[in-house]
Structures are given as C-alpha cells and as structure tokens.
Structure 1
Amino acid sequence: MPTSRAPQIPGRNRAAARPALDRGRTLLGPALALIHSGRAPTRSALTSELAVTRATAGAIAAELEALGLVAVDSRPAGSGRGRPSHRLAVAPGGPVVLAAQIHADGFSVALAGLGGTLGEPVDHPLPSPADPEGLLRAVAEAGARLVAASPRRCLGAALAVPTPVTTSDGRAFAAMYLDWPSGTPVRDLFAAAVARAFPSAGFPLPTAVANDANLAALAEHRHGAGCGARHLLYVTSGHRGVGGALVVDGRLHTGSDGLALEVGQLTVDPRGRPCPCGRRGCLDVEADPPALLAAAGITPAPGEPLLERARAVTRAAAHDPAARAAVDRVAERLGAGLAGMVNILNPDRIVLGGIHLDLLTAAPQLLPAVVAERSLWGRSAGVPVLPAALARPDLTGAAELAWQPFLDDPQSAVAG
C-alpha cells in the first residue's frame, strides 16, 4: 500500500539524518522486525544487528517512530560500558491488528499490537449452524465490535483455522472437526465477511488465513519457547486432533502449497481408535483431549470444554491411578509420533502446546524418554522437548500473520 507522502523525521538535524535514512530505507522492515521480536531493545543493538552506522540506525529508528510504530526513549540506557544507547520499543499506543481463531468448540478474537502483545481474548461458542459463511460472519462481527471499542487504529485481520489451507488459493482441506466441505474457499469468505463487518474502514482491510498449528509455531519461534531454534518442531492439540509445524531458519516450512506437516495423520497404533480420515490409530485420535478422556474412562457431557476436562485428568495423575495410566498411555503414543518426526526432520528443538504441554508436565521423564528411545537421532543426541511459553499461541500467530505485510513494508502502515 503506497504512502501519500514521506513521513517527517522528528528532531533538529533532519537534513543530516536524511542521507543516512536514504541509505537505510530498505532496512526499515528488517529493523522493525528486530524491534518487534525484542532482538534490538536499544539503538546500539539495532546498529549491530543491521551492520550499519550509528547515524543510519538513528535515522531508521526515527523514521519508524514517525510512522507511529516505534517509541524511542530520549533517556539513553547505559550498561556501565561504552556510550549509553537510546532504548527502542514498540509504540504503546500504536496501531493494532485483529487476530481470530476458530476451533472445534468455538472461536476467539483479540486485538494485538507489535511486539507479540495480545489484548484480552474474547471467546465465543460456535453459532448454529456453523456453516463456513455463518461462522466466518460471526468471527468478523465479533472482531468489529472489539475494534469499535478500541481507540487504536486497526491495520488488518488474520484468522487461524484447524485445517490445512492452501497458499495458492486459500482453500481449506480436511476440515474434519468443523464439518466443512473439502475445498471451502476460506480465505475469500473471510475477506468478504471482514469487508461487510468493517464498512466504515474506508478501504479494504487486509486479511489472511492460515492453519492454526503453523501460526502457533511461528508465534513460539518469534516470542516464545522456540526463540533461537534453527529447526523448530511444534506439535499441539487444543480441542480435537493434533497439529504440527516446522520452522526452519525463521520461516515456516509449508510444502509446495501449504499442506506440509499434517502430523496428525501419522499412524501410531494400527489397531487403535478410528479416525475421521477413515483409518485407525492416527496421532489425531490417539493423542488429543478426547483420547485422554477415553483412556481415563471419562465420557464428557455434551458441550463440555474438552481441553479443560482433559487438563483436569493430567493434574489428577499425581494421585489418581486411572488418570496416571491414561496420561502414560497417551504420552507413549505422542512420544512414538514425535520420534517418527525426529527421524525425518532432525529438529534441534521440540515445543509442545495445548494438551501436549500438560502431558509433558504430568510425564516429564516418560515423554522425552520415549522420544529418545524410539528415534535414531534422539538416542545419539537428545532433542530438547519444551512446553510452549505463550498463553494463546494460535491467536498470537494469527496476529503475526496480520502484521507480516507491515513488517515487510512499514511505510504501508500509513495508508490506513
């Protein structure tokens, strides 16, 4: 989105700063990404990370401040060595994006600023009927209410969905837990729903849609337990089914059309529970909340939140033999699936989210031991298995998706 005029640089030495800014203008995006991820908390750190002069780094920071995206503290931060450096942070009152997530039991919306900061999520039950058009309309309308109640400008919206989404045409495939037709044009439907819900925006609000596990992995890599990993394997189960994603050198591995890492379809017990895909014993149905509840002999009530009930089982494992046996059984199934992924992908870190995080807490020795025993690389060089650090990684990942165009081109933020 082009700008109508070049933003002005605050300060007394604008003429002197302009040549440095002209040299560093192409670095506005990388600079904002560094500040957004916390890797450049000061101007000196920005200078080092970008390998530019102090003058260029200062001009870049000033330009990002003029765009309303970054705050430059006029009081330098000193560490006791060298020259003090100005602190850099995302602008506290800057613009936001709308992050939304659909899962098998409902949907959630939240506003998110830069820096991985997520506002208070608002959770909603699924509408009835939960057909694609009606559900996406409900999501967009709930998001519009949040935006209307906020004084901050909204730049875009993104949606995390529990299904693979093609990158070429934005269609949802294998939405088994939403009962959507295969090939539902979710990207176009969401864009249309947002356009109807935000008629006063005055311009088409940018929208995007992607798989929830992919987005959660991206969020954990940028702001959570995956920070610093070169090959991050993320595996999670929120309500039904199992999702996974791989982040390689900071980029999601999505395959030729966004359908890679469908880890839920790994077979871990050929004679196990029936899967909606038509087979038996897939990780999707052997290591999700319903599987844990079934192993514990629990039949949830209609409409009962499955994740919370399953988490109660993991907490009870410390004193309840039935819960202990259920946790161990599902942890072994999950460990077998993780081991297969380790053999194929050779990650340097595994991060677990959703109920898998709770399984790791309840079985901190068993789960990593199964991974190590059943994977070739695990036996020779242990792969760290860590709990996810973010409270709502799916929503945080949706926010990352919505922010990405502005991280790529910060000047486009002024077009709205």
Structure 2
Amino acid sequence: MTPTRTTRLERGRSALGPALELVHTGRAPTRAVLTAELGVTRATAGAVAAELETLGLITVDSRPAAASGSQGRPSHRLSVDPEGPVVLAAQVHADGFRAALVGLGGRIVATAPGAVTVEADPAQVLTEVVAAGARLLRGTGRRCLGAGLAVPSAVAEPEGTALNPLHLAWPPGAPVREIFARCLADAGVPGPSGKVPATGHTANDINLVALGEHRHGAGRGARDLLCVATGHRGVGGALVLDGRLHTGSAGLALEVGHLTVDPDGRACHCGGRGCLDVETDPLAFLEAAGREPGPETGLLSRAMELLRTEYATDPAVRDAAGLLIDRLGLGLAGLVNILNPDRIILGGLHRALLEADAERLHAVIAERSLWGRSGSVPVLACELEHSSLVGAAELAWQPVLDDPAAALSG
C-alpha cells in the first residue's frame, strides 16, 4: 500500500467520530457540507460517509438531487439511519420515572412513563425504570449501544453518587451509577456486542436538559449556554461552555436553585431562605395562586395546567405568575452578571412563565443586570419534549461519537 493511500485511510478513520457528530447534530446535511466542515478532500469525506453507513449509523442517498435554483454538482444527502441502533435513556423524578429508546439525532424511538412512589432505596425505582426500558428493547428489537440515567441530584464524579437528592427520600451519597449498572445487568440489557451488559452513565437531570437542548434543541449554536429549569420539584441550572457541559471539579457546578432571591422567604432544604429552589418551583406557584397543592405527585403538571387554563381569566393566577417571574428574573440577572452567557434557555414551569409574559421577564433581567441595557441576552424556551431523556441518551452516545468503529466492535 502506498504511503498516500495509508495516510488517506488513517485520516478517514480519525474523521469518523467528528463526521458522525456533525450528522448527529444536524450540522452536515450533505456530503459537501461534511467535506467543508472536516476540512478533508471530497474523496475522504465520501469514504468516511460510506464507512458510517456500513456501520449502520447513517444513510447516504444514492441519487443526489440539486436544490431548486442551485448551481453545480448536487451533493449526496446525509441523515441518521432511522432503523439504526439506539441507547436506553432513563429519568427518575419525584413522581416516578420515564424510560425511552433514543436514536442518533436525538430521536425518541419509544418511551414508557411510570408513576410510582419513589422509596428511600434507589434500587426500587431504578429496577423498574430499567425493566421498562428492557421491555421497549424487546418490543422493538433494536440494537442497544449503552444507557444513560438522569436523576434530580448533583452527581459527584468520578464516583457517580447522588449527593443531595433533596426532593427524593434517597440517602445522601447514594451510589446511583453502581446501582444503575447492576440493574442493567440484572435486566439483561445488552451492550454493543450483544453479550455484555450495556455501560450505564449517570448525571444530574438539568445538566442533561442543557446537553440535550444544546445539541438538538433551543441551545443549538450557542457558545456559552445557561439553562435554568424547574423539575417536578425544585430548580436546577447548567452551563455549556464552548460546546461542553461545565460540571466543575467534581460534577457539582451550577447549583443555581440555591441562589437567594428573597432573604425573608421560605426555608429551603439547603438550610438557607428564599432560594430559587423554593420560590420559583411548582409548589411555590400553586401556593402563591391560592391553590391547594395536594399530594407531591403531579405538582408540575398541575401548575402547568393552571397556568395554561386560568392565566387569562383569574387575577390570582396572573399575580402568582408575575411574582414568580420577578423572582426568576432577579436570579437570572445575577447569573448573567457572573457568567455572561450568550443565550439562556428555560425549562419546566419556567418555560411556561416565559411564554406567559416574556416582556416582564426580560424587563426584570435588564433592570438588574449590569449588561442588561447594553447587551441583551436572548431568553428562549426549551424545545424538546423530553430534554432530560435526550440528554441522558447523549451520555450513552458519547463513546460512539468519540470512536464509532471501536464502540460498535465492543
């Protein structure tokens, strides 16, 4: 083999991962764009695309057509293989869990919710969510390449322990990654080879909202992305810097729920008072609107439904929304002053508050932010229906994006 041929093959192999990520995130819809993004020759880009197609990860149309009004040679269109492998994504929240199979491109292939009482033993709900995911795999017959789990707690690295699941009964420091891996093995969820259990990855749910939205939703194209969202209880935050999730030295960064927005406000689980976590979550909204919160289960859905159906007709609901918007804007202004993001995305109840009165929220941020009057930060609603699940899937897809050939051979 000539040195030139050897060099071309080596270059193609090293480009497999970057090429797959470009198709995965929608940034290379054609082979021409792939060639330009990779900075390789057309022949090398063609060889890379063909190899990814052989691996069953993408499809390359065999008869390219030029776009209407375009000039020059038409380029082959690239897309993720709709029948390709999937990963198992799981989310645990205060009301139970949700399992899903997620393909490349952030496509949810199948999903199954489960409403259960989340007991003090994490193994109880993790066993159920993994079992639900295993049933989805058996029902679809899809090849599984890994598994990711989103939990409502900071997850310490490298141990994979849930340090402070404040809205669950789990003990601090629960070894969720280890338990998740054991559940995957017990349920017979296969890895890429079909023989060994799938590798399990675990992270904080709001971190995974940010990751999923950055790659496939409202955060696409942002360099410094701030995400703030309500879960079923509490408030979380995450930051993507230069395209990578910022988790700090031990996975514990951006606990924005514990910023104080009302020093005389409610007592918080963290020991402080008036934190975003207890002043802008679904429970706070229901109480401010004069509604009986009822049982823990379904707080988020009840708050969202109240805002959707009665905001226009009930002054108490509008006043409650305005109060939470003011508190949220105060917290976001402080984060803008510290982090200087180029985009903010809001999820959960915060997304609904933004949609109810975006002008008021922007005004509070501008009033309280050092840069608000001279450098407005776009504030957008999260776009994905199940952002945490898509983000959890991204954890499992990452080894494949890093080295597709090695991941699929193992």
Q: Select the residue among 209, 222, 231 that pairs with 1:216.
A: 209
Q: Give the aligned partner of residue 161 of structure 2.
A: 171
Partner of 2:283: 290
Mapped to 2, the partners of 1:351 and 1:345 lie a distance apart of 14
Give yes or no for contact 1:17–1:55 (8 Å, CA) kept in 2. Answer: no
**Equivalent residue of 2:345, what SS?**
strand
1:15-414, aligned counterparts within 5 Å?
A: 20-79=8-67, 80-127=70-117, 129-198=119-188, 201-302=194-295, 304-315=297-308, 316-414=310-408
Q: Corresponding residue for 1:8?
A: none
Instruction: Give distance in 2, aligned partners of 1:404 and 1:393.
Output: 16
Runs of 5+ consecutive residues of structure 2 not aligned to the other structure: none
How far does residue 306 in structure 1 lie from its aligned partner after superposition?
1.0
Bigger Cα displacement from structure 2, 31-40 vs 379-388: 379-388
1:111-147 CA distance string (max 9 Å, x none): 0100110124211012463521212111211111111
Q: Distance in 2 between matches of 1:387 and 1:101?
A: 21
Amino acid across the alignment from 2:390: T
Per the alignment, residue 11 of structure 1 pairs with none
Paired residues of 1:20 and 1:59 also in contact (CA < 8 A):
no
Assess if the C-alpha contact under 8 Å between 1:111 and 1:119 holds in 2.
yes
The separation in 2 between residues aligned to 1:375 and 1:199, in whole angstroms, is: 49
Distance in 2 between residues matched to 1:17 and 1:224, nearest whole Å:
40
Q: Is the 8 A contact 1:67 1:413 kept in 2?
A: no
Q: CA RMSD in A?
A: 1.5
* Contact kept? 1:20, 1:55, Cα under 8 Å: no
Three-state SS of the structure 2 residue aligned to 1:71 is strand
Q: Aligned-pair distance for 1:18?
A: 7.5
The residue matched to 2:140 in structure 1 has which SS?
A: coil
Look up the SS of the partner of 1:82 in the other structure. Answer: coil
Using the size of structure 2 for normalisation, the TM-score is 0.95
Secondary structure of the 2:145 match is strand
- For the residues of structure 2 that align with 1:199 and 1:244, how far apart are their CA atoms? 31
- Does the CA contact (< 8 Å) of 2:118 and 2:168 recur in 1? no
Deviates more, 1:55-64 or 1:293-302: 293-302
Provide Cα deviations, 1:166-218, integer angstroms capped at 9, x if missing partner: 12111111111112111111111111111111166421311100001111101
Distance in 1 (CA, whole Å) between partners of 2:54 and 2:231 is 40
CA distance in 1, matches of 2:155, 2:292: 32
What is the distance in 2 between the residues matched to 1:303 and 1:199? 32
Cα distance, 1:301 vs structure 2: 2.7
Which 10-residue stretch deviates more, 137-146 or 348-357? 137-146
Q: How big is each residue's C-alpha offset from its partner over 1:248-292, in whole Å with a ceiling of 9 and x where there is no partner? A: 111011100110000001010011112112221010000110010
Aligned partner of residue 333 in structure 1, secondary structure: helix
TM-score (norm 1): 0.93
* Shift of residue 82, structure 1, vs aligned partner: 1.7
Alpha-carbon deviations, 1:315-360, whole Å to 9, x = none? Answer: 2222210000000001111111101100100001000011100000
Report if the CA contact (8 A) 2:134-2:189 is conserved.
Answer: no
Looking at structure 2, the residues matched to 23 and 247 of structure 1 have their Cα atoms a distance apart, in angstroms, of 29
Corresponding residue for 1:4? none
The separation in 2 between residues aligned to 1:115 and 1:45, in whole angstroms, is 17
Looking at structure 1, the residues matched to 335 and 208 of structure 2 have their Cα atoms a distance apart, in angstroms, of 19
